[in-house]
Amino acid sequence: MLDSFPQDAEAPGTRYLLAEVLFESGRFAEAAKEYERAAYDYPLHAKSAAAGYAALVAYDKHEPTISGESQALWHRQGIESSLMFATSFPEHPESARVLTKADEELFALDEFDRVIEVSQQILERNPPVDVEFQRTATTLLAHSLFDRERFQEAEQAYVRAQAFVPANDPDRAAIEERIAASIYKQAEAKQAAGDAAGAVDDFLRVGALAPNAKVRANAEYDAASILVQNKQWDRAAVVLESFRRTHPNHELAPDVTRSLAVAYLETGRAIEAAAEFERIAARDDEEGEVRRAALWQAAELYETSGSPTNAARTYESYVKQFPAPLDAAMDARQKLADMAKAQNDARARAQWLAAIIEADRAAGAARTDRSRYLAAKATLETVEPHVAVFNAVKLVAPLDRSLATKRSAMEKALAIYGQALDYGVAEVTTAATFGTAELYRNLGADLLASERPAGLDAEALEQYDLLLEEQAFPFEEKAIELHETNARRASEGLYDEWVQRSFDVLAKLVPARYARSEIGEDYVPSLQ
């Protein structure tokens, strides 16, 4: 009948019946084609939509019966039939579901351009399709746009898809990750194009729109890195501080600390920079030399920024952790001694001077010129309390008792001066020589000025004075000898404060030799 009367008014219905018979006979491939002809080869009729939908059922029935390339081709034909049905019969109650299913199947075949087109058709339908279908279409649209590197559009699509996903939905986290990835890709593109400001803004948008995304930390770190590279220190510090608050245990935390230290230094926030260097020094996974340099810089920053308590604490920590290299540790001890002096803490000053001396002594073959110098200076300073005791002892009657006390203090001071001389440090040698000479001179002078015994007559007093002069004379001679030793160093090219002071003393003790004024002549050259 169909071959004989193709234009008959009953032809569409007849073809539909043919398709039905084929379907019931299990001849699904033939049925599918006849259903399609009934649906699309004739003007719209009562069975058009039913035939179009029945074709899809026949496609589904036949597909499992074949395999390989035949099945793949049949599957694609079924998708095309679905698209034709949904487009031709948008009012059909199954139209939206069919179109959405076709969208999913195209996505499974990586037909991303067509997915974009079909997804937009679904989302543009009026009245709107069910929320379930909108969610699927929006998600597929976003994925396909992302695949096609249309990241800005993908971001918008993912944000739209997120609105369809409840807070407790297991898919919500994945959508948020994709939002973050879309923004991150935009930022990377801007960075590659030289748009640093735009890249920073996009990297920071990740945290605003996808706060729980795994890539957020990397995005914020990348933003900070660009700011550091472009020397936008203030903004870099803000971003890095935020990173630390949000991701305190992130693997990039060490790099954040380093960058923060630089940012704080560049913006004059020395104390905060010092704290960051301390963080670096405290990390066990940092190389030893990095930790040592960081702790030293922290101490210096505290020192120069007027934070003596923190400076002292950090230098002390440095000495404990890094006794080597020796010179740096010795300098740290010296700084601690100097800070104690500035705080009028005599006890701490003495402790650190003793530590300097002991560290140099214990170094053995590792001693350096610097360690010897500092130890020599420290040793010289330790004599001061003993010299003060010596000067404080007054020679009173009975002389033998007070003189013994004074001599004891003198011996202690002389021993320390001797230790200072053993270091062979020029400026310490001249100071120790001067100090030793003055001990002898002052002892002689104090003997002459000592209290006379009571009850002596004039003759006895004269005899007593003569005895004192005899006792004092060797001390004065020894003082002259030592001061002359110091003075002779001037001819060797060593002329410092202590050599000058020895000359001054000699001018008083031996004026005939050392207090002479130079005689000069005015010389006026003449030309003849």
pLDDT at 380 exceeding the cut of 70: yes
Residue 201 burial by Cβ neighbours in a 10 Å radius (0-12, 13-18, 19+): middle
Q: For 2-16, 205-219, 311-325, 366-380, which range has the lowest pLDDT when averaged over its residues?
A: 2-16
Closest CA to 152 of 123, 119, 181, 122: 181
* pLDDT for 524 beyond 80: no
Cα–Cα distance for residue pair 48/41, rounded to 1 Å: 9
Mean local confidence (pLDDT), 8-26: 93
pLDDT digits (tens, 9 = 90+) for 137-163: 999 999 999 999 999 999 999 999 999
Predicted local confidence at residue 365, as pLDDT:
94
DSSP class of 424: -
Task: Indicate whether 5 pLDDT > 80.
Answer: no
Q: 293-311: per-residue pLDDT in tens? A: 999 999 999 999 999 999 9
Question: Counting Cβ atoms within 10 Å, is residue 192 exposed (0-12), middle (13-18) or buried (19+)?
Answer: exposed
3-class SS at 385?
Answer: helix
What integer pLDDT is reported at residue 41 of this predicted model? 94
Reported pTM: 0.76
CA gap 181, 171 in Å, rounded:
16
Indicate if the pLDDT at residue 522 is higher than 50: no
Q: What is the pLDDT of residues 425-441, one digit of tens each?
A: 999 999 999 999 999 99
Secondary structure string (H, E, C) spanning 4-70: CCCCCCCHHHHHHHHHHHHHHCCCHHHHHHHHHHHHHCCCCCCCHHHHHHHHHHHHHHHHHHCCHHH
What whole-number distance in Å separates Cα of residue 307 and Cα of residue 301? 9
The per-residue pLDDT of the chain, averaged, comes to: 94
The 10 Å Cβ neighbour count of residue 1 is 12
